[in-house]
Amino acid sequence: MTQVTLDKAIAEELITSKIQLLQQFIDEILHRWNEPSTKDFLERARTGEIVNAEEDAVELRQLMLDYQKYRDLLTQL
């Protein structure tokens, strides 16, 4: 793996921007399905209570994993 040197403030800004973008995508999915929380949406999609939500549920789960990855990275700086 290649390593580069990056100013901590710039790294924080870039990671924070990525986190905000991921949160925006998460909020858009929740808004599309008129759901208050990711947990509720994923549960209702899993049980089939929300019809045709599988694709968004998969995307939401990946967005949440990415979001957590970047939050963890931010705390490690």
Domain boundaries, the chain: 8-76
- Condensed to tens digits (0 to 9), the pLDDT of residues 15-52 reads 999 999 999 999 999 999 999 999 999 999 999 999 99
Contacts by 16-25 with C-beta closer than 8 Å and gap 24+?
16/74, 18/70, 19/67, 19/70, 19/71, 19/74, 22/63, 22/66, 22/67, 22/70, 23/67, 25/63
Q: Retrieve residue 43's tokens.
A: 């549960």
Give CA–CA dist 75/12, Å, rounded: 9
The whole-model pTM stands at: 0.90
Question: What confidence category does residue 10 fall into, taking pLDDT thresholds of 50, 70 and 90?
Answer: very high
- When comparing pLDDT for 23 and 4, which is higher? 23
The pLDDT, as a whole number, for residue 4 is 86
Mean pLDDT of the chain: 96
pLDDT above 70 coverage of the chain, percent:
100
Residue type, 55: E
